[in-house]
Amino acid sequence: ASLSQIIDFDTAAIIAEELGCKVEKEVIVTIEEKLIDTAEDKAEDLEPRAPVVVVMGHVDHGKTSLLDYIRNANVVSGEAGGITQHIGAYQVQVKGQPITFLDTPGHEAFTAMRARGAMVTDIAILVVAADDGIMPQTVESINHAKAAGIPIIVAINKMDKPEANPERIKEQLTAYELVPEEWGGETIICPISAKTGEGIDNLLEMVNLTAEMQELKANPNRSAHGAVIEARLDKGRGPIATVLIQEGTLKQGDNFVCGPFSGRVRALTNDQGKKVKEAGPSLPVEVQGFEGVPVAGEEFFVVADEKLARRIADSRAAKQRERDLASESRVTLETFLSQRASDQETLTLNLVVKADVQGSLEAITEALNKQSTDKVHLNVVHGGTGAITESDILLASASKAIIIGFNVRPTSKIKDVAEHENVDIRFYDIIYKLVDDIKSAMAGLLAPVQREVYLGQAEVRETFSVPKIGVIAGSYVADGKIARNAGVRLLRDGVVVYTGKISSLKRFKDDAKEVVKGNECGVGLENFNDVKIGDIIEAFETVEEAATL
Ligand code: GDP
């Protein structure tokens, strides 16, 4: 090794010992590690805790109705009037067994939390309407639950409807490795009606049964630790967050840290709107006393005293600023490979694939699955058709996946979210190029790449038919710029309908080299006239880049 080279501890120890020196290891402990009690619990300190359940499924399949039914039927209504508070989660008693439900239906909230590292849910109830069947968000929900590694209980809802067809749904489910118990599989399926309440008792019993098998436990007698489910700024009471306690017991007066904020518990309110003095594992409580509004999914820790809490919060805020500048946690094909260089075991490259149509999605997934080798395993966490959505990005962020877009493009809002979540999105319009990139990335051989640089987007607001020239799109540049010699794509609802070149770019009557954000322009597309109002014109440049892998 040369003078300035760093060698690992073990090597240094061997050399030093040969030279007759004794080597000691200095372990650097951050203040967080010193102050936050992360000690493992002894088995005898653990006590059973309620399961935390999330309800997911396609829109209008009855998630909200189911959550409302369970709440109304099982919450002991409060004092006169029986006010129940919506604080983001609630707990019910089923035959003396508590169950905690996250009150925000859908997988977005769930995955947003997971993306921040909070694994709060133990069981997912997948709601599928018996008169509708498996829909895109049903599939997303299945994949999100699978990625989180939690058991799925299927509730076939709307059984009261005459057109309900549960058998068809069971059959559809098998395509997603959810095989009903009655057919020899392991998936619990409960036919229910969120309208009449039929089957819901059975569903809740199944939840309890599943929870029992998980042997969920926590130590209530230690400093509390939990995760933020929901947070808001209340006009009178200041920042308020619902925290789901995961370990320990939170008490009034406790000092805590939550993300870049510290605070002291001023008041605790439960899901029935009652003030409480403390809250133990699996209980959701509204906490008053935050210095700022934390984000959902942020971890919440009680620490010994106020000064220390503030120190951690300050150091986190500073780190976050650094991180914002460096954006280092991003998984890109590049970082994936550098990881490979140092790791010996099999690596998994997770991918989320979004394609324009089912046919190309199937072709891509199949082509990608064939690429897995002994050293690198390719795993398509989720595949779907249509535009890339926020939920795709959150899933990718949570599962450290790269998003592959095939003939689809993100909106500029989605780009922002991807940037914020540090998710790498790669776009392709030719399957073999996509497979080649992934393959060469896997082999560490990425040849000089033609990389696309996004320039900007314009919205088509009017169309004009000009004799001999064709259709001109009267457009407003909403982001970046549109350049005369740029490549362009025309997007309709996030799907690419045309890729080519600009044939004319005008600002008022004059030819323009480029038109920047906030201005209007007329755009003609080469050999393409089917432009419609509401379409998005996206401009890009293709640049050659040396391989960095
Ligand atoms: P979400 O979008 O999944 O939260 O679905 P909602 O709970 O809002 O329900 C969508 C629609 O389906 C509403 O009009 C409900 O009244 C209706 N609905 C929900 N569950 C049932 C059910 O079991 N039977 C019938 N007939 N209608 C239901």
- SS3 letters across 524-538: EECCECCCCCCCEEE
187, 78 Cβ separation under 8 angstroms: no
Q: What band does 327 get if pLDDT is binned at 50, 70 and 90?
A: very low
Residue 120: what pLDDT?
A: 86
What share of the chain in percent tops pLDDT 90?
Answer: 42
Q: What band does 338 get if pLDDT is binned at 50, 70 and 90?
A: low
Q: Is 61 in the pocket of ligand 1 (CB under 6 A)?
A: yes
As a whole number of angstroms, the distance between CA 20 and CA 522 comes to: 79
Identify the residue whose C-alpha is closest to ligand 1 atom 24. Answer: 158
Mean per-residue pLDDT over the chain, rounded? 84
As a whole number of angstroms, the distance between CA 215 and CA 222 comes to: 20
Q: Is 489 in the pocket of ligand 1 (CB under 6 A)?
A: no
Once rounded to an integer, what is the mean pLDDT over residues 372-376? 73
As a whole number of angstroms, the distance between CA 527 and CA 522 comes to: 16
| Nearest Cα residue to 248 out of 306, 302, 305 | 302
355, 380 Cβ separation under 8 angstroms: no
Query: Tokens 């004794």 belong to which residue?
Result: 22
Identify the residue whose C-alpha is closest to ligand 1 atom 25. Answer: 158
As a whole number of angstroms, the distance between CA 182 and CA 34 comes to: 52
Once rounded to an integer, what is the mean pLDDT over residues 258-286? 92
As a whole number of angstroms, the distance between CA 457 and CA 413 comes to: 11
Distance 323 CA to ligand 1 centre (A): 43
278, 269 Cβ separation under 8 angstroms: no
Nearest atom, ligand 1, residue 127 CA: 3
* Token digits of residue 331: 């998984």
Residue 499's Cβ-count burial label (10 Å; 0-12, 13-18, 19+) is: middle
Once rounded to an integer, what is the mean pLDDT over residues 230-257? 90
Residue 445: what pLDDT?
A: 43
Distance 97 CA to ligand 1 centre (A): 27
Nearest atom, ligand 1, residue 161 CA: 26
Cβ atoms within 10 A of the Cβ of 227, count?
A: 24
Q: What band does 310 get if pLDDT is binned at 50, 70 and 90?
A: confident
159, 186 Cβ separation under 8 angstroms: no
Cβ neighbours of residue 539 closer than 8 Å, sequence gap 6 or more: 454, 455, 456, 457, 458, 480, 481, 482, 483, 486, 487, 488, 502
**Exposed e or buried b for every residue in 88-102, given b needs 16+ CB within 10 A?**
bbbbbebeebbbbbb
What share of the chain in percent tops pLDDT 70?
Answer: 85
Nearest atom, ligand 1, residue 157 CA: 23
Residue 358: what pLDDT?
A: 80
| Structural element, H or E, at residue 16 | helix 9-18
16 compared with 533, residue with greater pLDDT: 533
Residue 470 has pLDDT above 90, yes or no: no
Residue 253: what pLDDT?
A: 94
Q: What band does 308 get if pLDDT is binned at 50, 70 and 90?
A: confident
Residue 137 has pLDDT above 90, yes or no: no
Query: pLDDT (tens digit, 9 = 90+) per residue, 167-214?
Result: 999 999 999 999 999 899 999 999 999 999 999 999 999 999 999 999
Residue 248: what pLDDT?
A: 94
Residue 140 has pLDDT above 90, yes or no: no
Query: pLDDT (tens digit, 9 = 90+) per residue, 420-453?
Result: 888 888 888 888 888 888 877 666 544 445 678 8
As a whole number of angstroms, the distance between CA 430 and CA 496 comes to: 13
3-class SS at 473? strand
Q: What band does 151 get if pLDDT is binned at 50, 70 and 90?
A: very high
Q: Is 63 in the pocket of ligand 1 (CB under 6 A)?
A: yes
Cβ atoms within 10 A of the Cβ of 496, count?
A: 18
Identify the residue whose C-alpha is closest to ligand 1 atom 17. Answer: 62
Cβ neighbours of residue 233 closer than 8 Å, sequence gap 6 or more: 239, 240, 293
Q: Is 104 in the pocket of ligand 1 (CB under 6 A)?
A: no
As a whole number of angstroms, the distance between CA 119 and CA 354 comes to: 25
Residue 325 has pLDDT above 60, yes or no: no
Query: Tokens 């599962």 belong to which residue?
Result: 399
CA atoms within 13 A on the CB side of 86: 7
- Determine the straight-line distance between the first and last CA of the chain, rounded to whole angstroms: 24
Q: Is 105 in the pocket of ligand 1 (CB under 6 A)?
A: yes
Residue 221 has pLDDT above 80, yes or no: yes
Residue 335: what pLDDT?
A: 59
Once rounded to an integer, what is the mean pLDDT over residues 48-76? 88
As a whole number of angstroms, the distance between CA 277 and CA 267 comes to: 8
Q: Determine which of 216-220, 270-274, 345-349 has the lowest per-residue pLDDT on average.
A: 345-349
Q: Is 194 in the pocket of ligand 1 (CB under 6 A)?
A: yes
Distance 62 CA to ligand 1 centre (A): 4
Residue 268 has pLDDT above 90, yes or no: yes
Residue 333 has pLDDT above 80, yes or no: no
Residue 319: what pLDDT?
A: 77
Q: Is 284 in the pocket of ligand 1 (CB under 6 A)?
A: no
Residue 219: what pLDDT?
A: 93
Residue 3 has pLDDT above 70, yes or no: yes
